[in-house]
Amino acid sequence: MLRFAEELMLLILRDDGRFVSVRSWSLRRALAGAVLMDLALEDRIDTDLENLILVDATPLGDGLLDPTLAQIAATNEQRGAHYWVEHIASGSDEIRSRALERLVDKGIVEKHDDKFLWVLRSRRYPTIDGKAVREVKLRIMSVLFSDEIPDSRDVAIIALADACEIFRELLSRQELEQASTRIQQVRNFDLIGQAMNQAIADVTMWLAKAQNTII
């Protein structure tokens, strides 16, 4: 089973081994959201409109998720999902490195140190529910261009892809216009996804204001 951070890294990895150009602050917050989404699916945390709630502090034995779970468990004060997205984003470099290392260990990507490229060895892997092996990009497209009700994993990965504006790379302009309403509809199903997108919007607005001030 791939974690959301691993799927996100696959989404931004081109066939030539180079990464799609995405805004660094968007990717950091998307990786933070990815870890929180996995913790929610593992019933370790829950969210409401105001708070992120610790449900079970028992470690999962997963080096990608347990550090964040430990941070949440060690905090006595109740915090919202927006706070945790921002807080975890500060350590997103470690999340990114671990996600890529796991993809290498699973034989999905291969690292070429001499060229500093990550080369895809296999672009297919089983989904969590045991359905036919489907590539993450194909899974997303099947949701965006159909009326099928997305499951929780589809909702999460679409929210992550939208946060990084990856759809601009994956879809043509016409396809993006066609899918824009559906993307917004699906991403709003998840409260963590909403908090993640709001955190990114806050940074974007701050940078815009800062630029105007400088000018």
What pLDDT, in 10s, does the model give residues 77-110? 889 888 998 899 999 999 998 998 888 888 777 7
Tell me the pLDDT of the chain averaged across its residues: 79
E-strand stretches of 44-186: 45-47, 52-54, 109-112, 117-120
Q: What is the mean pLDDT of the segment spanning 142-168?
A: 85
* Closest-CA residue to 177 (of 167, 185, 186, 187): 167
Confidence of residue 167 (pLDDT cuts 50, 70, 90): confident
Tokens of 145: 């261009």
Mean pLDDT of 157-175: 86
Residues in Cβ contact with 129 at an 8 Å cutoff, skipping those fewer than 6 apart:
151, 153
Q: What pLDDT sits at residue 70?
A: 97
Q: pLDDT value at position 23?
A: 83
Rounded CA separation 109/83 (Å): 33
Band (pLDDT 50/70/90 cuts) for residue 187 is confident
In the prediction, which pLDDT does 74 show?
Answer: 95
Dig out the tokens for 91 from the structure: 């350590």
Q: Do 136 and 109 touch, CB atoms closer than 8 A?
A: no
Q: Which of 94, 11, 5, 83 is nearest to 41 (CA)?
A: 5
pLDDT at 212 over 70: no
